[in-house]
Amino acid sequence: MKQKKVTFADIAAYTGFSKTTISRYFNNPDSLTLENQEKITHALDVLGYQENKLAKVLANGKSEFVGIIIPNLYLHYYSEMLNQLLSTYEKYNYKFLVFIGNNKKEIEEKYIHELMAYKIEGLIVLSNTISSEELASYKLPVVTIERECDHVCSVSTDNYLGGVQATSLLIRNNCDVILHINSIFSDTLPTYGRIQGFEDICNEHHITHELIQRNMGNTYQETLAQLKNIFNEIEEKYPAQKKGVFLANDTYASMFLNLIFQKYGKLPKDYQIVGFDDSPIASEAILPITTVGQQIEKIAQTAMELLVLQMNEMKKRKPTPLKEPVHKQITPVLIRRDTTDNTGSEQMINSLKFYYSLQGILLTNSIFGFLIFSTTF
């Protein structure tokens, strides 16, 4: 037998409130006392009320949707950040509309207008193409993550400290030369702090160092081609020196590590590798990668807290917008793994060689390097 649809009149009759009061519960709950809100909530449970979301959107313009604009998903940092943002649904009950911008300003602006047509209540932006001044002009709660943020709320890592942590470790491990590999971007972005931390510590300790910045492209293939060129340049320029290589993110670090394994079949003692982010690829790589952990889960949670704070304020009859943007900075954590401890590489190589020897297979370093490269690219 089909269950009867519960109406506002049914809820009003059960609670003794007027239908106007029931409507206020759904559209402007702050206008009711907590006691009356609880009475109506209890009635909804007892009566088995199923809310018509579309009708609610049409009535008050609140969709419970949040828009996300993200540059790409091939960098593991972005895919993990998206995963953590989506997981906040259980806590906040906001649904997400996600667009990938690929660093194209016109496309991202079109996305935002489409998102606003869907009556999103807030926006999280990770891409750098649209200025924060323009984002603020949309008169919408906005939080940015790891990007320029002068006019909107933001969450970022203490990138300078992260650069100091990575570089200091390579100095302590007695590297002769320290190299930092990064893309080309404006010094106004929070991530530029990694470069500043790297250069300041190298200069303070009078360590030979080089900043290598290139256009790393927007796809895996473009990035790999650049990293191959950089790896060959480093091999040629610093052949007999112990090299500490600090890469801008774990995706770059994993790709660079694979290039080393392709050539040597292991991580030689004259290489130390440090990534940035602590995305899953860092621990899943052929050799677990030392990295500066961004505490991605904490960043995502903090971003949603900031956004929900603004969205809740906008639901009030007389909202009071923030006078100034709120900026939160999360402390990074250095996570030491095998790429700054070459004994781990040797142990892994020996274990795999022993395994293959049991299968009657003689595995040379060059063959092993090919196997690693072919299975991880």
Residue 161's alpha-carbon distances to 155, 167, 271, 303, in angstroms, are 15, 10, 23, 20
User: How much is the pTM?
Assistant: 0.77
**Do 280 and 347 reside in the same domain of the chain?**
yes
**Do 230 and 193 reside in the same domain of the chain?**
yes
**Do 225 and 363 reside in the same domain of the chain?**
yes
Contacts of 145 (CB under 8 A, 6+ apart): 81, 124, 125, 126, 154, 155, 156, 299, 303
Distance of alpha carbon 4 from alpha carbon 47, whole angstroms: 10
Distance of alpha carbon 214 from alpha carbon 333, whole angstroms: 26
**Which residues of 2-100 form beta strands (DSSP E)?**
65-70, 95-100
* Amino acid 195: pLDDT: 98
Local confidence pLDDT in tens for the 377 residues of the chain: 445 688 888 889 999 999 899 888 877 777 889 898 889 888 888 888 876 555 555 455 567 899 999 999 988 999 999 999 999 999 998 999 999 988 889 999 999 999 888 889 999 999 999 999 999 999 999 999 999 999 999 999 999 999 999 999 999 999 999 999 999 999 989 999 999 999 999 999 999 999 999 999 888 999 999 999 999 999 999 999 999 999 999 999 999 999 999 999 999 999 999 999 999 999 999 999 999 999 999 999 999 999 999 999 988 878 888 889 999 999 999 999 999 986 544 555 554 555 555 555 555 544 444 444 434 43
* Amino acid 372: pLDDT: 43
**Do 245 and 125 reside in the same domain of the chain?**
no
Is 355 a domain residue?
A: yes
Dihedrals phi, psi of 185, to nearest 5 degrees: -155, 170
* Contact (Cβ atoms closer than 8 angstroms) between residue 147 and residue 154: yes
Is 3 a domain residue?
A: no
∠ CA 198-244-268, nearest 5°, is 165
∠ CA 12-14-17, nearest 5°, is 35
**Do 150 and 192 reside in the same domain of the chain?**
no
* Domain that residue 28 falls in: 8-51
* Amino acid 41: pLDDT: 85
**Do 83 and 136 reside in the same domain of the chain?**
yes
Distance of alpha carbon 252 from alpha carbon 248, whole angstroms: 7
* Amino acid 361: pLDDT: 55
**Three-state SS at 29:** helix
**Do 306 and 344 reside in the same domain of the chain?**
no
- CATH of residue 204: 3.40.50.2300
* Amino acid 16: pLDDT: 92
* Amino acid 50: pLDDT: 73
**Do 247 and 358 reside in the same domain of the chain?**
yes
* Amino acid 357: pLDDT: 58
> From edge to edge, which strands make up the β-sheet containing 243-247?
208-214, 177-183, 243-247, 271-277, 290-293, 333-335
**Which residues of the chain form beta strands (DSSP E)?**
65-70, 95-100, 122-125, 142-145, 153-157, 177-183, 208-214, 243-247, 271-277, 290-293, 327-330, 333-335
* Contact (Cβ atoms closer than 8 angstroms) between residue 317 and residue 300: no
**Do 339 and 240 reside in the same domain of the chain?**
yes
**Do 132 and 163 reside in the same domain of the chain?**
no
Q: Please, what is the angle between helix 19-27 and helix 53-60, to 10°? A: 90
- Percent of residues in the chain assigned helix, strand, coil, to nearest 5: 50, 15, 35
Is 60 a domain residue?
A: no
* Amino acid 371: pLDDT: 45
* Contact (Cβ atoms closer than 8 angstroms) between residue 233 and residue 259: no
If one counts the domains in the chain, the total is 3
**Do 358 and 244 reside in the same domain of the chain?**
yes
